[in-house]
Amino acid sequence: MTDQTECDRLDRRRRAFIEAARELFVRLGYERTTLGDIVDRAGGSLATVYKLFGNKEGILEVVVFEKASSGATLVREAAEKGGTPHEILHRLAVSFQAHFLDPEVVALVRIVIARSVSDKDFARRFFERTATRTLDSLQQLFADWQDRGIELNAPPHILAELFLGLFVSDVHADAISHRVGMDNSLERLRARTQFFVMGSGVLENKNANISFEGPNGL
């Protein structure tokens, strides 16, 4: 047997386990899904699970960190399209809402929070890879705007927290209430962007236009 085929076979198995585990973790939670469930769903055998992931925690680690992404990419994409700060913020709000309210993301957040009680380090790493990085890139965005002469009411890192908080609070509500009376309308989103624009002071720079974010500003 060549290394190649072996690698492929194992890899397919690995993928199957991960997909099955994610599906089950999301639906039942970590504690309530048993390794037996995962094997039943993915095929393969318990022995292979242990070979590939070491133990149950090992699968969780892989499942969570495969899905956990920061919003840095979203920030970059929204900024690159240019336009007024208000426009950029609105685009960003749309993609943040889509990302943070993805039911799978919310379910994983629930799992991480539950697990954080017994494994603080795990939760912290998750926080780093998601929130902290997103905050950093937002902060940078606002700092860039400041450098280009846009006046803001508060330091960039405070604004970054506030902007992200607009969406995090929804995630939190969703995590607890499981979408009772959740309103994801565009109107509501507009109101939030508007609110942030007013609160941050971006409004007064109405005609500022961020054409394209390059190494040398406008």
When asked if residue 10 is in the footprint of DNA (CB under 7 A), the reply is yes
Instruction: Considering only the stretches 47-55, 63-71, 77-85, 105-113, report the one whose residues sit in contact with a second copy under the rule CB under 8 A.
Output: 105-113
Residue type, 171: V
When asked if residue 94 is in the footprint of a second copy (CB under 8 A), the reply is no
DSSP characters over 34-97: -HHHHHHHH-S-HHHHHHHHSSHHHHHHHHHHHH---SHHHHHHHHHT-B-HHHHHHHHHHHHH
CB 1, CB 14: distance < 8 Å: no
Rounded Cα distance, 195 and 101, in Å? 20
Rounded Cα distance, 116 and 118, in Å? 6
**Residue 3: CB partners within 8 Å, gap ≥ 6?**
none
CB 62, CB 22: distance < 8 Å: no
When asked if residue 192 is in the footprint of a second copy (CB under 8 A), the reply is yes
- Determine how many CB atoms are found less than 10 A away from the CB of residue 118: 8
Q: Quick one: what does residue 5 bind among a second copy, DNA, none, with the CB cut-off 5 to 8 Å set by partner type?
A: DNA
* Options 34, 177, 184, 209; binder of a second copy; rule CB under 8 A: 177
Binding flags for a second copy, 32-71, as an x/- string (CB under 8 A): x---------------------------------------
Instruction: Considering only the stretches 3-11, 64-72, 83-91, 144-152, report the one whose residues sit in contact with DNA under the rule CB under 7 A.
Output: 3-11
Range 20-59, binding DNA (CB under 7 A): 32, 34-36, 39, 43-48, 50-51, 55-57
Nearer to a second copy, 12 or 178 (CB): 178
Instruction: Considering only the stretches 79-87, 90-98, 140-148, 167-175, report the one whose residues sit in contact with a second copy under the rule CB under 8 A.
Output: 167-175
Q: Quick one: what does residue 177 bind among DNA, a second copy, none, with the CB cut-off 5 to 8 Å set by partner type?
A: a second copy
When asked if residue 188 is in the footprint of a second copy (CB under 8 A), the reply is yes
